[in-house]
Structure 1
């Protein structure tokens, strides 16, 4: 375990009105209440809030940080008269007010047509790398599994109060951004840097942070950052995702890389994952590929137990639909989602089991 890469997780949440279930721009109030908490930060829109774990060495640390931060944000949201919910898209519509931050305001000015569909919520997993060249090898190793990771995390079936028919409605919304695309099979770091520079030079991104490859070399940290996943409905699923991403990176750094799909094949697989969600057969292949790295890091039992639970109860989209079916109103549905997000249980949650 001592040699396992470090891992960190960023989670984005949407803030919902307790009476209507609609998204509300309450982030400034919550951030003011949590000013002393470095693990809670603003996001692009005021209806969102983001949490950041520390640099973790074990999945136990990841779980502890995620649990603590979800509860802190949930409590602050309750005090502000709203609900913090882990869902890839606000289920009952949004008011897209941009956060008062110079960088976000420049982004909104450059892409005004995308603001209305923004506010989607993701889970980003960071895995430590010894060098950018090693990170590029990790991106190559991750590329064949991006659709599986999307399917595992798919957690956004509802848009504007209606069932979208997708497991991840976030995926097509987020993919409208000009640089939101899979990483290419770059031969070297120079090729990667050239692609980032071209995106900025051509106006597709304002800076390196605005280049939204589904997996990328972090422009701020010595990590590979996997951005394909929806925010997970509960901590258990987020821990599984973090463990799998770390194992895939460790496997790639050892030189073990699955066959590379063509761009067209990867695009088809991503669309299928967004529509159908969890693919048990593909996930089983990923688990087999990553098993040695999971065993070496000490994560094998935790990930297999979490995967079994996820496969048994269904992914986030399945659970959301079950919760919506037993909710009489949008407000009741939002409250149920908030309960699962926070990690507290009651008898009404049996619908999502």
Structure 2
């Protein structure tokens, strides 16, 4: 499809673009033992006793992980309620089994033993094919889904989201510690996850056909077993009619996850309303920008993808909000985003909050306790 065709097909009013879009969020969490703070392989126990709830609560690849998935949402109020309720259910059940539910991209503490994986044939095959890469698990992300009407619209939105991946990573950075060490990064999870051969920023695509051809080539190479293992930072969902943003660490609180979801929907609506194909950032600039965002988070410097120069990451986040403000206002999300981002700049991203907890106590054990309390927060 040509640029003119794409623009004509998807050039909508901002209000019409917003009306098309629904959102959903998947959150991955760690289970840690309340006494030791180490990972606890208790997902089967935690999930087996949960029943009769509206929430979609599932196992993940590691036995020390659980996942929640919201339903399809139109309002951010509904999304916040669903995410808060799911965290409460999981946290309550985890505590019944001597564990804390932890929203952190990586485990704070570790004790050197291999991580136990959920005993399913798929995960066994992943271990055989990808070998020591599974030793970096578990890591936990926040995946935002935006429902879109057709594949060409989804590719249009993917290309726009691709440009903002570093800023969204900086906003969602929440994994400074790993295995008893301050890594020096705001999102160590992103660096670890990027080692997988099908992970990282996707190419810029001309069309849905271009996307599907690239996906098949990745699978044919063996770098992904199937479309579910296409781990690009933004992709077409393998099972839903959505674009899925996967670049961010699991959010510290439901409010942080809702901020991310509102930003992603705002980008999608702005992309559809503009009809423009999005800026084609070369990989040799985008990859360093993602590394910088993973290192510095929201508190440091990011790469301005227009100039290629360093700029305060908070200023780049502000530029994003200004660009999508009309869509946020139509959706009724502008005040939420403006206030949430201001709070994030003041209090720090998740990584900064973890480090502040360590600074107060000098103890990584206290960081784990802080995370246990923060994860349950309804803020």
Please state which band the TM-score falls in when normalised by the shorter chain.
over 0.9
Q: Which runs of 5+ in 2 are unaligned?
A: 1-14, 299-312
* Partner residue, 2:355: 321
Q: How far apart, CA to CA, are the structure 2 residues paired with 1:42 and 1:105?
A: 15
Q: Match of 1:55? A: 72
Unaligned ranges ≥5, structure 1: 346-353
Structure 1 residues 325 and 147: CA distance shift in structure 2, 3 A: same
2:41 to 22, 25, 41: 25
Give the Cα separation in 2 of the matches to 1:323 and 1:33: 32
Q: How many residues align?
A: 345
Structure-1 residue corresponding to 2:27: 11
Q: Counterpart of 1:334?
A: 368
Distance 1:182 1:42 in 2: 26
Does the aligned pair in 2 maintain the 1:140–1:252 contact within 8 Å? no
- Asked if the contact 1:20–1:330 (Cα under 8 Å) also holds between the matched residues in 2, the reply is no
Q: Are residue 268 (structure 1) and residue 288 (structure 2) matched?
A: yes
For 1:82 and 1:332, the matched residues in 2 are separated by 15
Contact 2:176 2:188 in 1 (8 A): yes
Identify which of 83, 92, 100 aligns with 2:119. Answer: 100
Shift of 1:35: 4.0
After TM superposition, give the deviation of residue 184 of structure 1 in Å: 1.1
Give how far 1:290 is off: 1.0
Q: Which residue of 2 aligns with 1:85?
A: 102
In 2: Cα distance, 1:90 partner to 1:242 partner:
24
Map of 1:131 onto structure 2: 150
Cα deviation, 1:5-60, whole Å, max 9, x if unaligned, reads 10000000011111111111111111101144441101110111100000000100
Shift of 1:154: 0.3
Task: Provide the C-alpha distance between the structure 1 equivalents of 2:154 and 2:136, rounded to a whole number of angstroms.
Answer: 31
Structure 1 position 69 matched with structure 2 position 89:
no
Within the alignment, does 1:170 sit opposite 2:204 as a pair?
Answer: no
TM-score, normalising length: structure 1: 0.94
Following superposition, the deviation at residue 331 of structure 1 comes to 3.5
Matched, 1:195 2:229: no
Does the 8 A contact of 1:125 with 1:227 survive in 2?
yes
- Asked if 1:280 is matched to 2:314, the reply is yes
CA distance in 1, matches of 2:346, 2:372: 21
Q: 1:303 Cα deviation (Å)?
A: 1.1
- Contact in 2 for aligned 1:4/1:297 (Cα 8 Å): no
Q: Secondary structure at the match of 1:12?
A: strand
Match of 1:348 in 2: none
Cα-to-partner distance string for 1:74-123 (whole Å, 9 max, x where unaligned): 10110010101000001112641111222222212211211110211000
For the aligned residue pairs, the C-alpha RMSD in angstroms reads: 1.5
| Runs of 4+ in structure 1 over 2 Å off | 35-38, 256-260, 325-333
Q: Could you tell me how far apart the structure 1 residues matched to 2:44 and 2:210 are?
A: 40
Q: Relative to 1, partners in 2 of residues 1:344 and 1:18: Cα closer, same or farther, differing over 3 Å?
A: farther
Does 2:245 align with 1:211?
no
Asked whether the 8 Å contact 1:251–1:257 carries over to 2, the reply is no
Moved more, 136-145 or 324-333: 324-333
Secondary structure of the corresponding residue to residue 3 of structure 1: helix
> 1:253 Cα shift?
1.5
Distance 1:330 1:83 in 2: 15
Task: Compute the TM-score of the two structures, normalised by the length of structure 2.
Answer: 0.88
